[in-house]
Structure 1
Amino acid sequence: MNVSSLPEWTLSPVNHVAPGPGVSLPYLVQPERDGGDLVDWLALHRASVDSALVEHGAVLLRGFRVPDEAAFQRAAGALCGALEPRYGDLVKRRSAEFVYDATVYPKDRAILFHHEGAHTPRLPSRQLFFCGRADFTGGETPIVDSRKVYRALDPDLVRLFERKGLLYVRNFIRGVDVRWQDFFRTEDRAAVEQQCREQGVEWKWKKDGTLGIATRAPAAIRHPSTGERSFCNQVLLHHVSCLDARTASALRAVLAPGDLPRNVCFGDGSPIPDEMIAEVLKVTVKTAVRFTWRLGDIALLDNLAVAHARSPFEGDRQILVAVGDVVSQESLLRAQA
């Protein structure tokens, strides 16, 4: 496939679903009567939600009383063993201990599919989204079962990704990405270096004070609960070819691959051809679904099985995020042995 022949990346082809009977992703959970307290309901029904999550990979909790950020945090705590208070890729809300704002990105652009934190040594196994304001059009959070993506991709392509693994390259350029201080949750360079050493991350300080890191991670994992193979990574979010054509061309013209704000290559440092990324995108979009948010909705994702994205939107959109039950890439690799 010739990447240049594709239209600019868009999520418009993603299938739209109305969650309900017969729709497996996301699996809809509703109370018998709207407006019940979710945390009280979960005290009796948490096991059934966990079972649905294992089977389907994503659960949409709709019709419960979740009026605000504080109620969402309580619900997230009831749905996770341990929430993560120091996740570096999202901006923590000042008024909460475990709640973050969704990624800030231009409204008219899509954020492509990714598993949260799959580009880091430790990633959450559960992710939750909460619709706090719903006066918008578009702005869906499309989701895709990456176990299905794994099975739909060409087996030779999957084997290549599995054999070589991935190397994520990131440069914390001011005004382009989060500050390294926010990502590592410290102002101390020595503390950053210690974290990198402990987690096997390569780092390099630039003359202008910015930081570059490189992190190795698998392209696919064996799910620790089901044993299924999942194409769990962030290749579509990091590969430069997935940017709009003008931005990708401009960046490639002035920056070496290792100096791009974000990029991903094979684990041995060799580039991933644009055509391979285009094929992954094609299969992912074909497999994905999206639904319309309603005020108070909570979507619970198995982050090891299901990837998410964001559609362009207009209006006043507030989607809050919580992540939890963090696992290490090392433990996932051990489970595959």
Structure 2
Amino acid sequence: MDISSLPEWTLSPVKHVQPGDDLSFPLLVRPEREGTDLIAWLEVHRPEVDRALSTHGAVLLRGFRVPDEAAFERAARALCSALEPRYGDLVKRESAEFIYDATWYPKDRAILFHNEGAHTPELPTRQLFFCGRADFTGGETPIVDCRRLYRALGPAFVRPFESKGLLYVRNFIRGVDVRWQDFFRTDDRSVVEQRCRAQGVEWTWKKDGSLRIATRAPAVIRHPGTGEPSFFNQVLLHHVSCLDAKTAAALRAVLAPQDLPRNVCFGDGSPIPDETIMEVLKVTVQTAVRFTWRLGDIALLDNLATAHARSPFEGDRQILVAVGDIVSQRSLRPGGA
């Protein structure tokens, strides 16, 4: 079956839930009094939120007073030990120190499931989303518990991912992806090379001045808090077969695999078959849930346990993002059961 024929491209089959209806993912946390100031509440209840996040993987804070971007930034500071001010894959808002706009992508297309930064040597363990404007339809942020996903995929299917790991290849092509200058937050090639060398990233400067990098990473990790295996990666976001069929065919016709804007293969360099990616997509969508955003909502994700996506939408959608508590990929224990 052609992967482009799957209905999952709109993510519409993802189960729609009402958080709090005897469901624990995401865990709904509401104040006793609607409109309670979140910062003051967290001064007392932060340890409870931390425990809930460790257990459930995702917490939805709803009904608190979080009026604007500045209040969200204060909440993010309260919920993370250290926020990241220079995260390369998102566009920083000029009005804030630690807040980013959600990834820009055409409204009528879905962004597929991924763990934030799983393709990079350093990545956030916590990610926060804030609904700043809710005058839109669709536009949910579907989430999937990657520990549950690991079990749903099954040991035999996951084994090649566990044993081989992944190799992410990325070409920073102007107009297609962020510029390498924005990703690395520098215009100095020597700084890029020094950073890649220190982090074990392979790099190539191309004749047109663009940059290709190749990064090795696990596809499955042991969650450092619970010890559970987690299907932690960005294969759906990087594999060329996850583009629409027309775009994928056009890219493959003119570009070698190593020159595609983004691609991923097994860590030994062997390709991941399209059929394998199709199965990952199908099981992920079957395992995931989505909820309707409300103005002022904050979703706190354990990025090592929970992957996220974005549904297509219409209207004026503003979801702001913060990431924090960065760890080195090398510190994460790969492997499963």
Q: TM-score, normalised by structure 2?
A: 0.98
The correspondence of residues 68-147 of structure 1 with structure 2, limited to 5 A, is 68-147=68-147
Query: What's the counterpart of residue 232 of structure 2?
Result: 232
Residue 10 of structure 1 and its aligned partner are, at CA, apart by 2.2
Residue 99 of structure 1 and its aligned partner are, at CA, apart by 0.3
1:66 aligns with 2:69: no
Residue 329 of structure 1 and its aligned partner are, at CA, apart by 1.0
Q: Is the 8 A contact 1:8 1:244 kept in 2?
A: no
**CA RMSD for the aligned pairs?**
1.4
Question: Structure 2: how far apart are the matches of 1:267 and 1:160?
Answer: 10
Deviation per CA, 1:62-96: give whole Å up to 9, x if none: 01111111100000000001000110000000011
Question: Structure 2: how far apart are the matches of 1:101 and 1:117?
Answer: 16
Query: What's the counterpart of residue 165 of structure 1?
Result: 165
Partner amino acid for 2:78?
A
Task: State the secondary structure of the residue aligned to 2:91.
Answer: coil
Q: Is the 8 A contact 2:8 2:282 kept in 1?
A: no
Partner amino acid for 1:90?
L
Query: What's the counterpart of residue 199 of structure 1?
Result: 199
Partner amino acid for 2:293?
W
Task: State the secondary structure of the residue aligned to 2:119.
Answer: coil
The correspondence of residues 29-48 of structure 1 with structure 2, limited to 5 A, is 29-48=29-48
1:331 aligns with 2:316: no
Question: Structure 2: how far apart are the matches of 1:237 and 1:335?
Answer: 21
Query: What's the counterpart of residue 216 of structure 1?
Result: 216
Query: What's the counterpart of residue 319 of structure 1?
Result: 319
Question: Structure 1: how far apart are the matches of 2:187 and 2:83?
Answer: 23
Q: Is the 8 A contact 2:134 2:294 kept in 1?
A: yes
**% identity of equivalent residues:** 81
Check 1:7–1:60 CA distance in 2 against 1; reply closer, same or farther (3 A cut): closer
Q: Is the 8 A contact 2:162 2:334 kept in 1?
A: no
Check 1:54–1:234 CA distance in 2 against 1; reply closer, same or farther (3 A cut): same
Residue 154 of structure 1 and its aligned partner are, at CA, apart by 2.9
Q: Is the 8 A contact 1:224 1:335 kept in 2?
A: no
Q: Is the 8 A contact 1:38 1:64 kept in 2?
A: yes
Partner amino acid for 1:144?
V
Partner amino acid for 1:67?
P
Q: Is the 8 A contact 2:37 2:65 kept in 1?
A: yes
Query: What's the counterpart of residue 245 of structure 2?
Result: 245
Deviation per CA, 1:14-37: give whole Å up to 9, x if none: 000011141111100011111111
Check 1:334–1:146 CA distance in 2 against 1; reply closer, same or farther (3 A cut): closer
Task: State the secondary structure of the residue aligned to 2:92.
Answer: coil
Deviation per CA, 1:22-58: give whole Å up to 9, x if none: 1111100011111111011000000111111011100
Question: Structure 1: how far apart are the matches of 2:135 and 2:33?
Answer: 24
Gaps of 5+ in 1: none
Query: What's the counterpart of residue 148 of structure 2?
Result: 148
Q: Is the 8 A contact 2:15 2:288 kept in 1?
A: yes
Question: Structure 2: how far apart are the matches of 1:73 and 1:83?
Answer: 9
Question: Structure 2: how far apart are the matches of 1:267 and 1:335?
Answer: 13
Q: Is the 8 A contact 1:9 1:243 kept in 2?
A: no
Q: TM-score, normalised by structure 1?
A: 0.98
Task: State the secondary structure of the residue aligned to 1:47.
Answer: helix
Task: State the secondary structure of the residue aligned to 2:333.
Answer: helix
Residue 219 of structure 1 and its aligned partner are, at CA, apart by 0.1
Q: Which moved more, 1:149-158 or 1:271-280?
A: 149-158
Task: State the secondary structure of the residue aligned to 2:304.
Answer: coil
1:302 aligns with 2:311: no
Question: Structure 2: how far apart are the matches of 1:333 and 1:170?
Answer: 24
Residue 335 of structure 1 and its aligned partner are, at CA, apart by 9.5
Check 1:192–1:62 CA distance in 2 against 1; reply closer, same or farther (3 A cut): same
The correspondence of residues 18-29 of structure 1 with structure 2, limited to 5 A, is 18-29=18-29
Gaps of 5+ in 2: none
Task: State the secondary structure of the residue aligned to 1:131.
Answer: strand
Partner amino acid for 1:41?
W
Query: What's the counterpart of residue 52 of structure 1?
Result: 52
Residue 6 of structure 1 and its aligned partner are, at CA, apart by 3.1
Residue 4 of structure 1 and its aligned partner are, at CA, apart by 5.6
Partner amino acid for 2:300?
L
Task: State the secondary structure of the residue aligned to 1:212.
Answer: strand
Q: Is the 8 A contact 1:8 1:245 kept in 2?
A: no
Q: Is the 8 A contact 1:124 1:326 kept in 2?
A: yes
Q: Is the 8 A contact 1:115 1:234 kept in 2?
A: yes
